[in-house]
Structure formats: C-alpha cells, structure tokens
C-alpha cells in the first residue's frame, strides 16, 4: 500500500507553515515534503517535524530568486558558485531535519545549449558528491513547460539518461524524481515508463491532470498507478504536490482507502496506540520469548550484513528480560555512531515502515513491521544521545529482579486498559529507573 507525504507548500496553507506539520499528521499523512524551508530557521523546522512525529521525505535546494523568476540555477552558465552555496545551505537544514534526499532544480535554459548542459552536469556532479558525503540522495525532476515555460529539464527520458550516466561515473546517490503529473503531460504511457525507470526512481509525486488538483479529479487513474508502484516494489513516499480545489481537508476523500496503513504509519499508528494492553498469559511466556529470540537472530543476521561495521544490534524490550511480562512482540535497538546514523536510517527505511507514532529526530528513528510474527519494532539511535536508553533500561532490570517485579505490577495494573495510558505510565517508570541509575 502506498505511503503519502503531504506537500506543505501546497497543502494545509490554511495554517502558518510551521503549523502545517501537525495538520498533516492529524489528517492521516505519515510524512511531509515541501518546496523550500528557508524562510524559517533550521531548528524551527526540525522542531515542528519532531513534534509532529512525521517523516520528512524531501525538499528543494535554494532555487535562486523565485520572485525574480528564477526556477533553479543548475543549468545556468556562470551560476555554479551560487549552486554550491545553495547546496551548503540545504545541507544545514538536512542535518537537523534528517531528510534523506534533496532536489536540485535546473532552471530556465535551453537544453540544446551546450553551455547549459555543461553547467548542469557540473552542478549535478558537485551536488551529488556533497550529498553522498552526508549519506543523502540527490533527485532531479523533469517539469513540463506548460506549467513552467522554458524549464531546462523537460524530458523524462533525457533526465533518466543523465541519472544513468552519472551513476556510471560513481554518483550512485543520484535519482530520478518522477512527478506523475509532469510525466503524463510530457509523454503519457505512465505504466510502461514506471516499470522501465523504476531502478532509477528515488521519489514519486502525484497530482491530477490537467488541473494539478486532488488525485481522482482528472484524466489519470491514480488508484491503478498506486497499485503499479506497489507491484514494482516502490518503497518510498508518494509526494502529494497538488493544489486543493477548495481547502485541503475538504478534498482528502481520495486518501481514505489508504489510511488503514500498516502499524507505524500515520493515523493507523495512533489508532493502534488506543487499543487495549494485551499481555501474554504466564504459561506461554517461555514460548513467546523463544519466538521473539528466533526472530531477533534472523533480523540481526540480516542487518549485520548491510549496516556499517560497528553498529550494535541489541534485543531489548520485555522479551529480552527474564521473568518480565510481555505483549510478545520483539524490540530491537540499533546503536550507531553519529556519522553512521543517516546511512543506517536510509537502509532501514528501505526495509521497514517508519513508526510515525514515534518521535523522529536527527539522532533517533523508529521503524516497525506489524506483519512479522511476532510483531517487530526497531529503534535506531545514536550512541550516548538522548534516546540511547533501551539497553540501559534492559540491563538495569536484568540486574535487579525487584525492578522486574515493579515493572510487572505496572503492566498488570494497566492490562486491558488503553495503550496510551499504559505508555505514559511506562515512560514515567523508565525515567525513574534511569534517574536512579545516575
């Protein structure tokens, strides 16, 4: 099932920009994207994102002077220094928001002009190289000239060719950003084009054609295309970059069939949090631990093969603590060095659903797989950071049976009650245990 990111530059404009994150969350989106964040301090954007609990899919590097008509600088001869400065400015925002990819706009130029093509390739090589140093992807997006007259990158296949060519040079983080709205106007034949270009695609966006309004209001069969994305194995977000016809929330009926997403995504995650706490019967605790440990061994083995050396993969949570009552699920903590965090986040995001019901910071991300048996939660955390508490709490309870008894008593008091109430009591208990440790 596709996962959607609300484009906050176009959606929820009834609210100030920094309030749109919460509005998107409340409407059922698990993620957001936006055009440019640069009117707001990086820390302010990061705080709004963190408080919303959403993922950030993408934003654009500075496109030049938009009010003066500039639509990117990458293909404009003589503007390389401005491009390079824009890359650094974008990276400052990426560092605090944890965004996994950035889009570089080409600008208004003729693609037949050799100097424009040369400027564009130089800009792409530089931007891809700098982003690779930070573990980020770089995307380029073909845009139709009806929507943006004179735009340099106005051909999907030509753009795909540049991605393939520069990947062959070693820029493996360069990707195609495919907006179905632009691709339909430029070429059509979307089903075949998606299948052919999927290995190059790093991000997808959607809007109706021809009016760029809500999905389902134009000539495209978006539901069919969303199904094709699933069939092709696309695991990223679909950016909703459209202009609402009459207010954002009033036009979200198209989203209703997709709100029942897997646990850990958007509104469904918060619905799961409202379910009752169900504990494994005491007679079945040993079996539950064995199943959780078997899954841990399998997951840990898979992750050790792909995560950077030195990443510590730990079985945490109740199934890792002898005699502790449990829901029967498996919790895994992945403790990494600061410089490895973004690489690990990208790897995990390609394998598991983000847990949008959890906080998301530059040093912590949560993922989930509700379809596994038992259900699986993964916490990616930078060592010695604020959220690096999972192994400490586990080790305290392993060492002190009295704490296990107190934790079990807390669980029994909340058994059958609302999960959000239990989670609040659990958080207070963990904080108390760790404060006593200090």
Catalytic residues: 141, 241
Q: How far apart are CA 109 and CA 151, in angstroms?
A: 6
Max CA pair span of the chain: 75
Beta strand pairing call for 31-33 and 55-60: parallel
| Half-sphere exposure for 160 (CA within 13 Å, toward CB) | 15
- Helix residue spans in 305-350 (DSSP H): 341-349
Beta bridge partners of 151: 108
Structure tokens that stand for 382 in this block: 């930078």
The dihedral over CA atoms of 191, 197, 200, 201, expressed in degrees to the nearest 10, equals -20
Q: How far apart are CA 238 and CA 234, in angstroms?
A: 10
Q: Collapse the DSSP code of 84 into the 3-class scheme (helix H, G, I; strand E, B; otherwise coil) and give the result.
A: helix
> What are the distances in angstroms from CA 142 to CA 185, 232, 241, 409?
11, 21, 14, 59
Task: Please provide residue 341's backbone torsions phi and psi, each rounded to the nearest 5 degrees.
Answer: -60, -50
Closest CA to 185 of 135, 219, 140, 214: 219
């Amino acid at each position: 099932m596709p996962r959607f990111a609300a484009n906050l530059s176009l959606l929820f404009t009834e609210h100030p920009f920094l309030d749109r994150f919460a509005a998107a969350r409340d409407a059922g989106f698990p993620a957001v994207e936006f055009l440019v964040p640069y009117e707001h301090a990086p820390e302010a954007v990061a705080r709004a994102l963190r408080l919303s609990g959403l993922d950030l899919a993408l934003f654009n590097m500075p496109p030049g002077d938009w009010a003066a008509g500039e639509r990117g600088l990458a293909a404009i001869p003589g503007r390389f220094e401005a491009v390079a400065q824009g890359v650094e400015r974008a990276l400052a925002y990426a560092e605090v928001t944890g965004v996994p990819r950035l889009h570089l706009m080409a600008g208004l130029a003729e693609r037949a002009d050799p100097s424009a093509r040369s400027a564009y390739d130089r800009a792409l090589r530089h931007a891809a190289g700098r982003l690779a140093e930070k573990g980020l992807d770089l995307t380029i997006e073909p845009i139709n000239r009806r929507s943006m007259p004179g735009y340099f990158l106005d051909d999907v296949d030509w753009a795909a060719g540049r991605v393939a060519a520069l990947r062959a040079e070693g820029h493996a983080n360069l990707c195609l950003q495919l907006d179905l709205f632009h691709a339909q106007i430029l070429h059509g034949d979307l089903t075949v084009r998606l299948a052919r270009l999927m290995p190059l695609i790093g991000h997808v966006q959607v809007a109706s054609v021809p009016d760029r309004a809500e999905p389902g209001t134009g000539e495209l069969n978006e539901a069919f295309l969303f199904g094709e994305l699933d069939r092709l194995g696309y695991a990223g977000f679909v950016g909703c970059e459209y202009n609402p016809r009459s207010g954002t929330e009033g036009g979200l009926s198209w989203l209703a069939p997709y709100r029942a997403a897997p646990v850990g995504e958007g509104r469904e995650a918060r619905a799961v949090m409202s379910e009752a706490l169900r504990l494994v019967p005491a007679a079945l605790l040993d079996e539950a631990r064995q199943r959780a440990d078997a899954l841990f061994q399998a997951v840990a083995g898979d992750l050790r093969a792909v995560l950077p050396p030195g990443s510590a993969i730990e079985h945490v949570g109740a199934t890792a603590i002898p005699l502790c009552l449990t829901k029967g699920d498996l919790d895994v903590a992945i403790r990494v060095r600061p410089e490895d965090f973004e690489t690990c986040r990208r790897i995990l995001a390609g394998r598991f659903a983000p847990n949008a019901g959890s906080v998301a910071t530059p040093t912590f991300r949560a993922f989930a797989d509700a379809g596994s048996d038992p259900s699986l939660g993964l916490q990616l955390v930078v060592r010695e950071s604020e959220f690096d508490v999972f192994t400490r709490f586990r080790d305290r309870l392993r060492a002190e049976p009295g704490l296990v008894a107190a934790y079990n008593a807390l669980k029994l008091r909340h058994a059958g009650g609302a999960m959000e109430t239990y989670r609040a009591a659990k958080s207070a208990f963990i904080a108390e245990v760790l404060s006593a440790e200090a």
